[in-house]
């Protein structure tokens, strides 16, 4: 009888713990419960405490495993986006979609975007979308609050073809070239009216 009673009590406690944990998943708190699930909240707040890297080259190498022209290109595009939207690194106030063929080296652009903006894939600030041709590679960006335009940052196709199939021994030189090449020789920026734009 004691065993049965202990099993019932333990079962009730287990259910209570599960209920509390499930509630915490939906109400992450700092001293109090928030309203609903915490998403990638933009701006200056406790969820956005990241620090921009002092050495972006080392940050790419640490995150990606090596520095290559594709991730440096992503970093350059990310920096341009912060400038164009007049925002800061790590504020998570941009939605970024990177349109690429779903294979390396094209996907390396995404890690450059992470280092360049402080946004990240895990918080759904940066998403990948597949295109079927290198000619269609671009990055589309808008503010999460729906204000302002959508920017498309379209790398120059001739540049992409030049870096597409290079050997590992050429990566550092190509990466350093990408870091210093005039922005307009790497990609163009277009502004499009957002369908989310508020009146």
Q: Which helix (DSSP H) or strand (DSSP E) does residue 5 occupy? A: helix 2-26
The arrangement of strands across the sheet holding 126-130 comes to 126-130, 94-100, 138-143, 150-155, 187-192
Q: Is the pLDDT reported for residue 116 higher than 50? A: yes
**Distance between CA atoms of residues 17 and 21, nearest Å:** 6
| pLDDT, tens digit (0-9, with 9 covering 90-100), for 85-102 | 999 999 999 999 999 999
Nearest to 30 by CA among 38, 21, 42: 38
Range of the domain at 23: 1-38
What does the pLDDT average to over 127-156?
A: 95
Q: Is the pLDDT reported for residue 108 higher than 70? A: yes
Specify whether 34 is located in the same domain as 63.
no
Residue 197 within any structural domain of the chain = no
Residue 16 within any structural domain of the chain = yes
pLDDT at site 15 = 47
pLDDT at site 176 = 95
Residue 175 within any structural domain of the chain = yes
125: CATH? 3.30.1330.130
Instruction: Report how many domains make up the chain.
Output: 2
Specify whether 176 is located in the same domain as 85.
yes
Residue 46 within any structural domain of the chain = no
Bridge partners (DSSP) listed for residue 97: 127, 140
pTM value > 0.85:
no
Q: Is the pLDDT reported for residue 42 higher than 80? A: no
Q: Is the pLDDT reported for residue 27 higher than 50? A: no
Specify whether 22 is located in the same domain as 64.
no
What does the pLDDT average to over 36-43?
A: 60
Specify whether 26 is located in the same domain as 103.
no
Residue 136 within any structural domain of the chain = yes
| pLDDT, tens digit (0-9, with 9 covering 90-100), for 46-87 | 777 778 888 898 999 888 988 999 999 999 999 999 999 999
């Amino acid at each position: 009888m004691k065993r049965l009673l202990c099993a019932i009590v333990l079962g009730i406690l287990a259910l209570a713990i599960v209920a509390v944990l499930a509630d915490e998943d939906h109400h992450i708190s700092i001293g109090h419960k928030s309203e609903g699930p915490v998403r990638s909240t933009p701006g200056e707040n406790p969820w956005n405490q990241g620090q921009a890297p002092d050495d972006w080259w080392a940050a790419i190498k640490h995150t990606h495993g090596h520095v290559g022209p594709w991730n440096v290109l992503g970093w350059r595009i990310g920096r341009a986006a912060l400038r164009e939207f007049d925002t800061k690194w790590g504020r998570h106030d941009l939605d970024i979609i990177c349109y690429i063929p779903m294979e390396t080296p094209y996907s390396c652009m995404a890690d450059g975007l992470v280092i360049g903006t402080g946004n990240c894939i895990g918080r759904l600030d940066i998403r990948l979308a597949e295109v079927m041709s290198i000619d269609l590679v671009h990055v589309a960006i808008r503010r999460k609050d729906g204000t302002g335009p959508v920017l498309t940052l379209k790398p120059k196709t001739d540049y992409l073809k030049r870096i597409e199939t290079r050997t590992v021994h050429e990566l550092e030189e190509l990466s350093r070239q990408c870091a210093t090449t005039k922005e307009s020789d790497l990609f163009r920026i277009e502004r499009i009216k957002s369908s989310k734009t508020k009146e």
